Amino acid sequence: MCGIVGYIGKGKALPILIDGLKRLQYRGYDSAGIAFQNGKGIEIYKTKGKIQDLQQILTYPLPHIRLGLGHTRWATHGAPSTQNAHPQSAGGVVVVHNGIIENYRELKSLLIAEGHEFSSDTDTEVIPQMISHHLKKGRSAIDAIKETAAALRGTYALGIICESHPDTLFAVKRGSPLVIALGEEEYFFASDIPALLPYTKKFIFLNDGHMCILKQSGLELKSLDSLKTLPVKDAVIEVDWTPSMAEKEGYDHFMLKEIYEQPKAVMDTLSEWIDDPPKLLDELGITDRIKHLRRLHIVGCGTSYHAGLVGRYIIEKFVRIPVTVDIASEYRYMDPIVTKGTLFITLTQSGETADTIAAQREAKEKGAPAFTICNVAGSTSTREADSVLYTRAGPEIGVASTKAFTAQLAALCLFGFALGIMKGRLTPVEIETLKSVLMDIPCLIRKALKTDAKMRKIAQTLVRAKGFLYLARGVNYPVALEGALKMKELSYVHAEGYPAGEMKHGPIALIEEGVPVVVLAPLDGLHEKILSNIEEVKARGGRVLAVTDSPAALTGKVDDLIVIPQAHPALSPFVNVVPLQLLAYHIAVTKGCNVDQPRNLAKSVTVE
Of the candidates 12, 11, 6, 52, which has an alpha carbon nearest to the alpha carbon of residue 29? 52
Half-sphere exposure (Cβ direction) of 103: Cα atoms closer than 13 Å: 11
Q: How far is the CB of 547 from ligand AGP (least distance, A)?
A: 19
* 400 belongs to the binding site for ligand AGP (CB under 6 A): yes
Exposure of 255 by Cβ count < 10 A (0-12 exposed, 13-18 middle, 19+ buried)? buried
Tell me if residue 202 is catalytic: no
Tell me if residue 2 is catalytic: yes
Residue at shortest CB range from ligand AGP: 302
Of residues 37 and 597, the one with the C-beta less far from ligand AGP: 597
Of residues 483 and 522, the one with the C-beta less far from ligand AGP: 483
Q: How far is the CB of 159 from ligand AGP (least distance, A)?
A: 22
Of residues 182 and 487, the one with the C-beta less far from ligand AGP: 487
Exposure of 532 by Cβ count < 10 A (0-12 exposed, 13-18 middle, 19+ buried)? exposed
Catalytic residue among 2, 162, 301, 374: 2
Q: Do the strands 543-548 and 31-37 form a parallel or antiparallel pair, or are they unpaired?
A: unpaired
Q: How far is the CB of 355 from ligand AGP (least distance, A)?
A: 8
Of residues 168 and 269, the one with the C-beta less far from ligand AGP: 269
Of the candidates 594, 575, 552, which has an alpha carbon nearest to the alpha carbon of residue 449? 575
Of residues 277 and 378, the one with the C-beta less far from ligand AGP: 378
Binding characters for ligand AGP, 479-518, by CB under 6 A (x = yes): ------x---x-----------------------------
Judge whether 516 and 462 are in contact, CB under 8 Å.
yes
Of the candidates 199, 65, 479, which has an alpha carbon nearest to the alpha carbon of residue 190? 199
For 180, the enclosing helix (H) or strand (E) is: strand 179-182
Stretch that binds ligand AGP, among 41-49, 81-89, 350-358, 470-478 (CB under 6 A): 350-358
Of residues 37 and 353, the one with the C-beta less far from ligand AGP: 353
Of residues 120 and 269, the one with the C-beta less far from ligand AGP: 269
Listed in sequence order, the DSSP H helices in 451-603 are 452-462, 477-491, 527-539, 573-591
DSSP string, 34-52: EEEE-SSSEEEEEEES-HH
Instruction: Evaluate the omega torsion of the peptide bond into residue 80 and state whether it is cis, within 30 degrees of 0.
Output: no
Pairwise CA distance, residues 342 & 323, whole Å: 9
Contacts of 3 (CB under 8 A, 6+ apart): 21, 24, 25, 26, 27, 28, 71, 72, 98, 190, 191, 192, 195
* 353 belongs to the binding site for ligand AGP (CB under 6 A): yes
Of residues 350 and 533, the one with the C-beta less far from ligand AGP: 350
Of the candidates 270, 275, 319, 318, which has an alpha carbon nearest to the alpha carbon of residue 294? 319
Binding characters for ligand AGP, 569-608, by CB under 6 A (x = yes): -----------------------------------xx---
Q: How far is the CB of 396 from ligand AGP (least distance, A)?
A: 8
Q: How far is the CB of 484 from ligand AGP (least distance, A)?
A: 11
Pairwise CA distance, residues 189 & 202, whole Å: 11
Stretch that binds ligand AGP, among 86-94, 103-111, 302-310, 559-567 (CB under 6 A): 302-310
* 269 belongs to the binding site for ligand AGP (CB under 6 A): no
503 Rama class: left (phi>0) / alpha (psi -120 to 50) / beta: alpha
* 120 belongs to the binding site for ligand AGP (CB under 6 A): no
Indicate which single residue of 101, 130, 301, 534 sits in contact with ligand AGP (rule: CB under 6 A): 301
Of residues 87 and 598, the one with the C-beta less far from ligand AGP: 598
Phi, psi of 304 (to 5 degrees): -65, -35
* 303 belongs to the binding site for ligand AGP (CB under 6 A): yes
Pairwise CA distance, residues 159 & 5, whole Å: 8
Stretch that binds ligand AGP, among 168-176, 234-242, 343-351, 583-591 (CB under 6 A): 343-351
Q: In what order do the strands lie in the sheet with 229-230?
A: 88-90, 93-101, 154-162, 165-174, 210-215, 218-223, 229-230
* 342 belongs to the binding site for ligand AGP (CB under 6 A): no
Stretch that binds ligand AGP, among 86-94, 172-180, 395-403, 424-432 (CB under 6 A): 395-403
Indicate which single residue of 25, 88, 348, 451 sits in contact with ligand AGP (rule: CB under 6 A): 348
Q: How far is the CB of 140 from ligand AGP (least distance, A)?
A: 38
Whether the CA torsion 349, 354, 359, 361 is positive or negative: it is positive
Q: How far is the CB of 300 from ligand AGP (least distance, A)?
A: 6
At position 96, the amino acid (one-letter code) is V
Indicate which single residue of 120, 132, 304, 581 sits in contact with ligand AGP (rule: CB under 6 A): 304
Which residues contact ligand AGP by CB under 6 A?
301-304, 348-350, 353, 356, 399-401, 485, 489, 604-605
Residues recognised as catalytic: 2, 603
